[in-house]
Structure formats: structure tokens, C-alpha cells
Amino acid sequence: MISAMPASTSPSSFPIDLRSDTVTRPTPAMRRAMAEAEVGDDVYGEDPTVNRLQARAAEIFEREAALFVPSGSMGNLLAIKTWARPGMEVICEQRSHIVNYELASMSAVAGCMPCTVAAADGILTWATIEPLIRPKGYYYAPTGLIELENTHNLHGGAVYPPAVVDEICDRAHTAGLRVHLDGARIFNAGVALGRGVAELTRMFDSVMFCLSKGLGAPVGSMLVGSRDFIDQARVGRKMLGGGMRQAGVLAAAGLVALEESPKTLHRDHENARFLAEGLAQIPGIVLDPRKVVTNIVIFEIRAEGRTAQEVCAELARRNVLCGAMGKQQVRMVTHYDVDCAGVERAISEMASLLGGPKS
């Protein structure tokens, strides 16, 4: 059986892969569940394991229904397609994943236009959103949807204060607008705040969360919401070519991820904080470790003549993998396939690359 190799027992030639929490390999329990999964044709609604996963996700989020989708990107796109019509705008944060990493699918496929605003730490408030809502007028593209991202990927896994979310949703609903959550890492937000995901997401009209990020499943994300919303999203999924057949082999791993992985996310957060504290000591790195509250560490490289890409390439030669974001920023993401020893190695390789701890 192939399983993830714990970094603590690995030789230093084994890569420490901090590029993303998407790189995890299925746990032995997931692989067992996949091998033993009962399956059927999910386009007929007859895959018992997919049905169990959907029922369980709906139960955990205290919603009427849920839908298993191949990716988080498809889940977000389905929400936009379901709530908004072509020619409408979607209000979202400037560095949100739907704007930066989803191939402009909201425009190319759903016919919508992003209406973005930059927010400190990526955290929108009603005060930043309200001026973007279009008044009635035949020449305006009407506002079709508001989208929030929690945790916020490009803002280093920042977490929305629940009161801010509640106010946005409450005011949006009063204004007759829907709010969708890109909750790819909402379980990380839950752990950071010590709150349940149902409580954190109760005001949203729809929620997408990923099984294949920190929760560690090999494939898949979930949309949750009302029965009516999910029925429409299911039709949209088929239209996008996302109707799956014996998907129970994937859903089985998703069920294990959903039940088991939230309990261990706190370790990823501890490792991320430890990583941030170590990196912050290195000259040429600008980073405030107090801002690292989940599993994403983003920092600036301010080393003479060195770009983020060059630093990442050099680290890769030393078997530490991470991602450059633009010219100066680097992202490292912790997950269950990297333990504390792996994090220590990442810090020491970076220190030796950039020249020892700050004096």
C-alpha cells in the first residue's frame, strides 16, 4: 500500500513539500475506504457512498442538501452560475481565489464580471461592500452576488471575524442580495476560532468547501445550501461536464477526510506558526508571525537582488518546495504530510540560503 511518508523518518533528500495543502497523499484509512467503497452511477443518483457523503456534509453544515463536485473551482463557478445571470457583477475581494486563480471562469463561462475591492488582510466589511452595489439604472450591470473567502488564501490564511460575516450577510439579504462563501479552508477557520463550521457559515446562501485541501482527500469539494439551490447546481454540474459515475471511490475518501481530518488541523496551524516564527528570524524575510493563524505562511523576500522565484528554485534544489507569488512573495502551506521536523528543515535551509538568523 502506498501511503504518505512521515517527514520525521525521512532522509533529508526527501522533499518537504510546502507548495500547498493540495499535495497530500490519501491516508491508509482513505485508501482502505476507497478500495471497499460501495458504488453506483451517480448521474442516476445511485451511488450510495456519494449519497452518504452528501448527506453527511449537509448534516455537518446544518443545511438541506449538499453536492459532491470535482473541484473547488467548479463549486464556486456553480454558485455564481446558479445565483447570478450573464451580465451581472460579482462583488469580491481583489486578491480572492475566484478572481486570481480560476481562469476568469466567472466571465468566460458564467458571463459575469468581477467587481473587486482591496481589503486589509482580505477581510471585506459591509462598509467596503456597500458602495460597490449598483443602484438601479438600465446602463448598470446589476450586482448578482457577493462572494467572501474564508480562510483567505492570498492573505496568508486570514480568518473572518464571525460578527463581520454576519453583518455582511444580514445587510446583503436586506438589500436582496445573495452571499456565497468560498470556504475551501473553512475547517481551518473553525479550528482557529474554536467554532463549528455550521455556526460560521449559517448566514451564507451557499458554501463551497474542499475535501482536497487540509482535509487531505485526493479529489473533490462540496457545495452546501438549500435543496432548491443544490438541485440547480446539480444541473449546472452536468452542463459543465462534471456529472460523475462510480464516484463513490472518491467520496469514500472524502467521508474519511470529513470525519477524521478536522481533528488534526490544529497541528498544521501550530507548524505554520512555528515555521513563521523561524522564518521571521532570517535576514531578508519580512513576515509578522502573529498574522499566521491557520496553515498558510506568506512572506516577502527583501534580499538584495533576489526574486521570490529564484529563492524558491534554490530551495527546491535543497528539497524544500514552496511557491512564488509575484516578484517578492513566497507562500508555504503546512499539511499533514509535513511534520515539525520537516518544518525545521525548511527553516534551516532558508536560513542557510539567505545567511543565518538576524542578529
Give me the residues that bind ligand TLP (CB under 6 A), please. 20, 22, 71-73, 97, 101, 149, 153, 182, 184, 210, 212, 221
Q: Write phi, then psi, for 67 (nearest 5 degrees).
A: -135, 130
For ligand TLP, which is the closer residue by CB, 22 or 348? 22
- Distances, alpha carbon 72 to alpha carbons 95, 209, 229, in Å: 17, 7, 17
Minimum CB separation from ligand TLP for residue 216, in Å?
13
For ligand TLP, which is the closer residue by CB, 22 or 51? 22
For ligand TLP, which is the closer residue by CB, 129 or 154? 154
Minimum CB separation from ligand TLP for residue 321, in Å?
12
CB-based contacts of 337, cutoff 8 Å, min separation 6? 4, 5, 6, 7, 17, 23, 24, 25
Q: How far apart are CA 230 and CA 236, in angstroms?
A: 10
Nearest residue to 56 (alpha-carbon basis) of 168, 194, 217, 270: 217
For ligand TLP, which is the closer residue by CB, 68 or 282? 68
Minimum CB separation from ligand TLP for residue 139, in Å?
32
Q: How far apart are CA 18 and CA 344, in angstroms?
A: 12
Minimum CB separation from ligand TLP for residue 193, in Å?
17
What the block records as the C-alpha cell of 306 is 533576489
Q: How far apart are CA 346 and CA 359, in angstroms?
A: 20
For ligand TLP, which is the closer residue by CB, 156 or 282? 156
Minimum CB separation from ligand TLP for residue 184, in Å?
3
Own/partner pairs, 127-135, CB within 8 angstroms, 24+ separation: 129/91, 129/168, 129/172, 130/171, 132/89, 132/91, 133/91, 133/175, 133/177, 134/89
For ligand TLP, which is the closer residue by CB, 325 or 340? 325
Nearest residue to 297 (alpha-carbon basis) of 320, 263, 319, 323: 323
Dihedral over alpha carbons 36, 33, 332, 270 (to 10 degrees): -170
Minimum CB separation from ligand TLP for residue 71, in Å?
3
For ligand TLP, which is the closer residue by CB, 178 or 335? 335
Minimum CB separation from ligand TLP for residue 88, in Å?
21
